C-alpha cells in the first residue's frame, strides 16, 4: 500500500511506529544495518530543517565566514553532490566551524614542501574533507584564482588581500602561484622592463640579423644566445648588447650571474640564474612576504621567500623558454617558471 493511501485511511501511526521498531530489531547486527540506521536517523533530521539542502545551507551559515557566505550557493552544490555519512559530514563541518581544516603553520613552513595531507587536517581520515578540498582547490571564483579561493573558503583566517596581492594569512601578505598543468609567470602590470628596453631589444635583434642569424617573431631565446655567442667573431660586442637588454628586463638587479653562465656555455645554469632574477625582480615590486607555490596535479605546496631558501628545501625554480627580445608580448621576457626538485646548488 502506498504511503499516500495509508494517510487517506487515518492509519494508527502509533501502531505503525511499533511495527517499524519491531522490524528494525529483526535486522542483523552488521555494518550494513548500522549504516542504514544512521542514514534513516539523518533523514529524520532533515524533515524539519528544509530537507537536505536546508541542513547544508544551515551548516555553511554556521561557519560564520564572509567568504563562505559569498560562495554559499556554489559550495552547497558541491556538498549536495558528495556522498558522505552523517559522521563524516559532522566531522567536516565541526572542523570547518572551528577553523581546524587548514594547518596554516605547516602551510607557511619554509623548511620543506608539503602535501595536501600535511596541510589539510582530516585529508587522509575523513573522505568528506578530502573530496571537498580536492574540489575547491581547483575552483577559481570571487575574483580569486585556483588555490587562493580554496584556501579562503576552508579557513576564516585566510582571506583575499585588500587592494593588490593574493592572500592574507593570519595577517601576513602571501603571493600565491598555482600550476594546474602549466607553469605561471612572475609578471603582472607592475612588472615591466626599464626605460629603453624596446630600443635595446631591437638593436640586439638587428645586430643578430646582420650576423646572418634568423630570429623568430617571439624573439631570441637563451639557447640561441649561447650558439650565437660561440660563433660570433666579436664576442664582446654581442655579449655587451645582450647584457644591456637583460639588465633592462630586470631593471636595477645584478645580472652578472646570467651573463657569466651564457659566456661559459652553460644553458642550464643560465636558465637557473634567469629564473632567480625573474622571481627576485617580481618580488621587488611587491609587498608580499613570500610565495606559496601550489602544484595541483601533484597535490603539493612549497612556501619560500627567496630562491636560496627554496633550494634548501630541495627544490628550485625552473624557467621555460625565455625570449629576451620580445617587444610585442612583454610577458615573454618573463618566462613560465615552475618549482622542481633540484640537482643544482
The helix (H) or strand (E) run that includes residue 168 is strand 167-169
Measure the CA–CA gap between 120 and 299, rounded to whole angstroms. Answer: 11
Question: Is the distance from CB of 104 to CB of 157 less than 8 angstroms?
Answer: yes
Residue 190's pLDDT is what? 84
Residues with Cβ within 8 Å of residue 257, at least 6 apart in sequence: 273, 276, 277
**Residue 300 pLDDT greater than 50, yes or no:** yes
Q: What is the total count of domains within the chain?
A: 2
Verify that 117 and 219 share a domain, yes or no: no
- In degrees, to the nearest 5, what angle opens at C-alpha 155 toward C-alphas 338 and 317? 10
What is the DSSP-derived secondary structure letter of residue 161?
P
Q: What is the pLDDT of residues 177-192, one digit of tens each?
A: 999 977 888 888 889 9
Single out the residue of 287, 327, 330 nearest to residue 191, CA to CA. 330
**Residue 49 pLDDT greater than 60, yes or no:** no
**Residue 252 pLDDT greater than 70, yes or no:** yes
Verify that 131 and 230 share a domain, yes or no: no
φ/ψ of 189, rounded to 5, equals -65, -20
- Among 21-35, 40-54, 197-211, 279-293, name the most confident range: 197-211
Verify that 272 and 321 share a domain, yes or no: yes
Verify that 119 and 211 share a domain, yes or no: no
The helix (H) or strand (E) run that includes residue 172 is strand 172-179
Per the domain annotation, does 66 fall within a domain? yes
Residue 5's pLDDT is what? 44
**Residue 55 pLDDT greater than 90, yes or no:** no
Per the domain annotation, does 245 fall within a domain? yes
Measure the CA–CA gap between 186 and 249, rounded to whole angstroms. Answer: 12
Residue 43's pLDDT is what? 52
How far is CA 257 from each of CA 121, 135, 266, 270, rounded to the nearest angstrom? Answer: 42, 42, 11, 8
Verify that 261 and 156 share a domain, yes or no: no
What is the DSSP-derived secondary structure letter of residue 31?
H
**Residue 318 pLDDT greater than 80, yes or no:** yes
Taking phi over 0 as left and psi of -120 to 50 as alpha, with beta for the rest, 301 belongs to beta
Residue 315: domain span: 197-341
- pLDDT class of 207 with cuts at 50, 70, 90: very high
Per the domain annotation, does 290 fall within a domain? yes
Distance of CA 189 to the CA centre of its chain: 20
Residue 115 class from Cβ within 10 Å (0-12 exposed, 13-18 middle, 19+ buried)? middle
- pLDDT class of 250 with cuts at 50, 70, 90: very high
What is the DSSP-derived secondary structure letter of residue 182?
S
Per the domain annotation, does 18 fall within a domain? no
**Residue 150 pLDDT greater than 80, yes or no:** yes
Per the domain annotation, does 64 fall within a domain? yes
The percent of residues in the chain predicted with pLDDT above 70, rounded, is 84
- pLDDT class of 81 with cuts at 50, 70, 90: confident
Residues with Cβ within 8 Å of residue 250, at least 6 apart in sequence: 277, 278, 280, 281
The three three-digit cell numbers of residue 190, written as one number = 607592475
**Residue 75 pLDDT greater than 90, yes or no:** yes
Verify that 135 and 205 share a domain, yes or no: no
HSE of 325, CA atoms in CB hemisphere, 13 A = 24
Residue 4's pLDDT is what? 41
Say which range, 1-15, 101-115, 144-158, has the weakest mean pLDDT: 1-15
The three three-digit cell numbers of residue 338, written as one number = 615552475
Verify that 155 and 226 share a domain, yes or no: no
Domain-ending residue, one of 160, 186, 215: 160
Per the domain annotation, does 71 fall within a domain? yes
Per the domain annotation, does 115 fall within a domain? yes
Single out the residue of 300, 284, 304 nearest to residue 108, CA to CA. 304
Residue 34's pLDDT is what? 62
Distance of CA 159 to the CA centre of its chain: 14
Please report where in the chains the cell 634548501 appears, as a residue.
Answer: 312
Verify that 210 and 334 share a domain, yes or no: yes
Amino acid at each position: 500500500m502506498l504511503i499516500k493511501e495509508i494517510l487517506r485511511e487515518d492509519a494508527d501511526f502509533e501502531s505503525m511506529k511499533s511495527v517499524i521498531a519491531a522490524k528494525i530489531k529483526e535486522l542483523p547486527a552488521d555494518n550494513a544495518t548500522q549504516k542504514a540506521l544512521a542514514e534513516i536517523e539523518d533523514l529524520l533530521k532533515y524533515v524539519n530543517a528544509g530537507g537536505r539542502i536546508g541542513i547544508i545551507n544551515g551548516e555553511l551559515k554556521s561557519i560564520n565566514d564572509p567568504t563562505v557566505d559569498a560562495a554559499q550557493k556554489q559550495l552547497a552544490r558541491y556538498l549536495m553532490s558528495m556522498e558522505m555519512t552523517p559522521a563524516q559530514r559532522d566531522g567536516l563541518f565541526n572542523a570547518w566551524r572551528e577553523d581546524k581544516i587548514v594547518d596554516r603553520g605547516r602551510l607557511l613552513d619554509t623548511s620543506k614542501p608539503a602535501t595536501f595531507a600535511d596541510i589539510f587536517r582530516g585529508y587522509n581520515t575523513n573522505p568528506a574533507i578530502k573530496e571537498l578540498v580536492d574540489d575547491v582547490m581547483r575552483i577559481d571564483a570571487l575574483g580569486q584564482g585556483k588555490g587562493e579561493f580554496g584556501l579562503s573558503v576552508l579557513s576564516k583566517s585566510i582571506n583575499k588581500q585588500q587592494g593588490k596581492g593574493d592572500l592574507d594569512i593570519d595577517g601576513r601578505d602571501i603571493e600565491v602561484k598555482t600550476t594546474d598543468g602549466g607553469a605561471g609567470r612572475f609578471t603582472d602590470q607592475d612588472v615591466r622592463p626599464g626605460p629603453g628596453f624596446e630600443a635595446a631589444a631591437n638593436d640586439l635583434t638587428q645586430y643578430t640579423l646582420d650576423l646572418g642569424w634568423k630570429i623568430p617573431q617571439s624573439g631570441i631565446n637563451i639557447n640561441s644566445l649561447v650558439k650565437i655567442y660561440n660563433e660570433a667573431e666579436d664576442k664582446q660586442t654581442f655579449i655587451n648588447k645582450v647584457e644591456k637588454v637583460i639588465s633592462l628586463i630586470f631593471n636595477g638587479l645584478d645580472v652578472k650571474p646570467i651573463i657569466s653562465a651564457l659566456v661559459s656555455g652553460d644553458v642550464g645554469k643560465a636558465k637557473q640564474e634567469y629564473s632567480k632574477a625573474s622571481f627576485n625582480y617580481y618580488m621587488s615590486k611587491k609587498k608580499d612576504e613570500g610565495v606559496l607555490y601550489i602544484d595541483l596535479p601533484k597535490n603539493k605546496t612549497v612556501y619560500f621567500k627567496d630562491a636560496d631558501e627554496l633550494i634548501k628545501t630541495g627544490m628550485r625554480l625552473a624557467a621555460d623558454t625565455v625570449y629576451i627580445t620580445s617587444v610585442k608580448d612583454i610577458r615573454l621576457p618573463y618566462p613560465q617558471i615552475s618549482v622542481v626538485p633540484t640537482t643544482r646548488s
